[in-house]
């Protein structure tokens, strides 16, 4: 029963994929002189060069990543989320050292490493109660 429901959901979501050959942000048609700048391999969101920057219609429809780049390995930001629904990313966070803007104190980290629910890596996660302080 659950598989049937999931299959129906996947079928509906597949129909919501953006139109191919056009920028999902501004709807400009791509051509040889004005090519696609980015395409999300998961949701099909496509952007032109103008819409590719994160503050200009550039967040794809994936709820836990942006164009295949997981939010869990980055610093928490208010604009990390689903570009279709506007829902903020609320999953596990384990910012990689080379991608950190903040110097996180020891007390904001969980004591033991565990498997990240988003990417599957074994890491020490930021405690949920401290994530909002860094948004």
Render pLDDT for 51-92 as a digit per residue (tens, 0 to 9): 887 555 557 888 899 888 899 999 888 888 888 788 889 999
Q: Is residue 93 part of a domain?
A: yes
Give the pLDDT score at 31. 94
How many domains does the chain fold into?
A: 2
**Do 42 and 85 share a structural domain?**
no
Q: Is residue 9 part of a domain?
A: no
**Do 134 and 76 share a structural domain?**
yes
What's the pLDDT band for 101 if we cut at 50, 70, 90? confident
**Do 81 and 49 share a structural domain?**
no
**Do 132 and 101 share a structural domain?**
yes
**Do 96 and 122 share a structural domain?**
yes
Higher-confidence residue: 14 or 97?
97
DSSP string for the chain: -HHHHHHHHHHHHHHTSPPTTB-TTT-PBP-SSS---EE-TTT--EE-TTT-STTSS---S-SSEETTEEGGGS---TT-B-TTT-PBP-S-----GGG-SS---GGGB-SS-EE-TTT--EEPPBPHHHHGGG-
**Do 54 and 77 share a structural domain?**
no
pLDDT of 38 above 70? yes
Q: Is residue 1 part of a domain?
A: no
Q: Is residue 100 part of a domain?
A: yes
Q: Is residue 5 part of a domain?
A: no
Owning domain of residue 49: 14-61
């Amino acid at each position: 029963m659950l598989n049937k429901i999931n299959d129906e959901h996947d079928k509906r979501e597949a129909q919501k994929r953006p139109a191919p050959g056009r920028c999902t942000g501004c709807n400009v048609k791509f051509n040889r002189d004005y090519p696609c700048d980015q395409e999300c391999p998961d949701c099909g969101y496509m952007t032109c060069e103008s819409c590719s920057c994160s503050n200009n219609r550039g967040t794809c429809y994936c709820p836990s990543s942006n164009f295949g780049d997981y939010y869990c390995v980055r610093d928490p930001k208010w604009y990390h989320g689903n570009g279709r629904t506007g829902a903020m990313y609320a999953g596990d966070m384990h910012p990689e050292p080379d991608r950190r803007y903040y110097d996180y104190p020891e007390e904001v980290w969980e004591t033991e490493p565990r498997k990240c629910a988003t990417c599957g890596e074994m890491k020490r996660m930021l405690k949920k109660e401290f994530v909002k302080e860094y948004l």
